[in-house]
């Protein structure tokens, strides 16, 4: 497996987690959602696809 493919596989594993859980705030070492539950879409500057 090439370095590129290995890195793509690692990135996809992270993206799966972000798609499932979103990106939470880190407060006191804990992942904490927004108090009001609000979220927003973050787009990749490379291809304008949603990141989280």
**Whole-number pLDDT of residue 28:** 96
**Whole-number pLDDT of residue 51:** 83
Separation CA 31–CA 5 (nearest Å)? 29
pTM attached to this predicted model: 0.44
| CA triple 48-14-6, angle to 5 deg | 95
DSSP 8-state symbol, 47 = T
DSSP 8-state symbol, 39 = -
**Whole-number pLDDT of residue 43:** 93
Tens of pLDDT, residue by residue over 3-46, are: 999 999 999 998 998 888 877 889 999 989 889 988 888 899 99
């Amino acid at each position: 497996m090439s370095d590129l493919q290995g890195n793509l596989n690692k990135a996809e594993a992270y993206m799966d987690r972000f798609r499932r859980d979103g990106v939470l705030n880190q407060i006191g070492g804990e992942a904490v959602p927004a108090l009001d539950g609000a979220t927003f879409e973050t787009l990749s500057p490379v291809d304008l696809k949603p990141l989280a």
